[in-house]
Chains A and B, each alone.
Chain A
Amino acid sequence: MGENETVLNATPSLAARTGNFLHRYANPGRFLRLGARLQPWLTWPAIVLSVAGIVWGLFLSPADWQQGDSVRIMYVHVPAAWLASSGYMGLAVCSLLSLVWRHPLADLAAVEIGPVGASVTAICLATGSLWGKPMWGTWWVWDARLTSVLVLFFLYLGHIALIRAFDEPQRGYRAAAILGLAGAVDLPIIKFSVQWWNTLHQPDSITLTAAPTMSTAMLWPLLVCTLGFTLGFAAILVARLRAAVMESRVRTALAMRRADPHDATREPDREPDRDLGGAVA
């Protein structure tokens, strides 16, 4: 019995080990160094691939035999739809990290994902409407796919509002993390809505389990656009998160200076950052 207890005490649980691993990479100073190194590798390929994909899709790819040139809207609509869902997935992961492990950067990442995710969801809805009008004859239908994406947009807006609704940031982070996690239920609904219900929106053309149902002449520019937009999303997010960490350090340094104006030699970098849940840079 005593031996078993010793073994149990000596072996940290999976949750504890995962928490230790995550916190090692949650150090804001380490994140700033990593982010600065990563930034150009995300930004420049994102610009090159997005421009190449847009030019390819707009001018070089063939028109669809049924939809004509309207199909070109697909090259911006599909990447936006993919980013709307995967951005929210990122938000849900940050919420989980925040609620379970109190990961200091996860809350800041959730704050920054919200507006970018809401913007790509707005692009998805708007480009979908602009594609739907010439093809379906209407800007909007209360179809399961369209409605579930609209719900996703409202979830993003709710998250943006909730995370900033409290005077004490930590309370806002907790409340928004619960919303972020609960809202993830919408993601499988979006994904499978075209299979579960008889929707006006077409079924997925690209799946992991079957060959794509579109010509490779259209598939390649779509993949290039999707990769470019994804890198662009990541680049914007990393830049916003780096700025948020720096702003947080500035606030902490100024608060310390106000608390002790005579001690100008104190090193702000080494003080716990209150916005980051007390993490030391």
Chain B
Amino acid sequence: MTHLPYIAAAYGLTVGLAVLLGTSAALRLRRARARLAAVERPARATRTNAP
């Protein structure tokens, strides 16, 4: 394959950045979901225990 370093660099950069963006979005979503659940839990528990 001619010009292999250029091709490898182009694909490596694209795949690397795509994986980075995808992983960071997934981790951020998971963190946000966990924090929201933690914040909402006390309020729900208090309502359930209310007389």
Contacts and interface: CB of A to CB of B under 8 A. Distances in A.
B3 A265 contact: no
B25 A236 contact: yes
A243 B4 CA distance: 39
A133 B21 contact: no
A235 interface: yes
Chain B at the A interface: mostly helix, strand, loop or mixed? Answer: helix
Interface string B20-40: 011001101101110110011
Contacts of B9: 130
Contacts of B22: 232, 235-236
Contacts of A267: 43
A242 B39 contact: no
B21 A116 contact: yes
A269 B36 CA distance: 10
A191 interface: no
A268 B10 contact: no
Contacts of A69: 1-4, 7
A116 B18 CA distance: 9
A249 B36 contact: yes
Interface stretch (A18-26, A71-79, A87-95, A193-201): A71-79
Contact of B6 (A50, A70, A123): A70
A250 B36 contact: yes
A269 B3 CA distance: 56
Interface string A235-252: 110011011101101100
A115 B2 CA distance: 34
Interface of B: 1-4, 6-7, 9-11, 13-15, 17-18, 21-22, 25-26, 28-29, 31-33, 35-36, 39-40, 42-43, 46-47, 50
